[in-house]
Amino acid sequence: MLMVAFLVFDGTRKMVQHVHAWLAPRLNLDAPRWGRGWLNEARLKTLLSIILLAAFFALYLASAAGLVFLGARFDARIARALQTDPRQAGGLLELTNRYSFAERVVYWATGINIFADHPFFGVGLGNAGFYFPQKMPTFGWALTEITQLLNYQSNIANTKSLWVRILAETGLAGFAVFLAWIWLLWHSGRFARKVSDRLLCVLGLAGQLVLIGFISEGFSLDSFALPYFWLAVGIFSAAARLAKGEESL
């Protein structure tokens, strides 16, 4: 869904540019009257772009709301979510327990508690699980999955979120380095999309979609052992390098 949202946003941006280019000559924005006063040519063009973007996103929000209410007629979970009053749910963990994902929230909260105690450099890669019994919210002991994991299984608990894991195990220092790397990869994809070679453009777009998937998946998965991600990153990093060489020619 996030990948589709990104494509819609990107398509909307390009559509606004085309509509702007079509409207500008008809509104005669280059006429001398637009060059005087507060509402000059540049500000009018900016205002027109904002109005067009707002109109498109109002349409998208209305469509999304319509899909949610339509889905409530066919899916009991969506209907229950719309009917639930968060103020009467007994807290966030109790609310998430009603929708059967309280365990994940407890894992995340535990990782955040570990990070709060070791904010700068964390507890070291792979060590967050050793702090779970002491840092886990009390509500977690009422959940069957977690009590079985901690009392009857030999597996070490994990945070179930890559981003929480990086914070807990490497602190702000490691988290900043990792985010800088992701940001560099994102701009590599943007750079590859600007060249004339269609293959490099497609690889740049594919790389950005991979990053969106990786970022969103990282909220419910905390493993670095994801071959598809590393292969995709290698491919579109090479595409960005080739795009840089093509631009310099």
pLDDT along the chain (249 residues), means of 10: 87 78 65 53 72 83 86 78 64 73 90 95 92 90 86 85 95 96 93 90 93 92 87 90 75
Q: Which of 116, 115, 109, 163 is nearest to 137 (CA)?
A: 109
Report whether 236 contacts 188 (CB < 8 A).
yes
Q: What is the pLDDT of residue 71?
A: 82
Which own/partner pairs from 18-23 qualify as long-range (CB within 8 Å, at least 24 positions apart)?
19/52, 20/45, 20/48, 20/49, 20/52, 23/48
DSSP state of 128: G
Q: What is the pLDDT of residue 56?
A: 81
Distance CA 188, CA 231 (A): 15
What type of residue sits at position 172? L
Contacts of 240 (CB under 8 A, 6+ apart): 188, 189, 191, 192, 204, 207
Distance CA 52, CA 54 (A): 5
Q: What is the pLDDT of residue 226?
A: 84
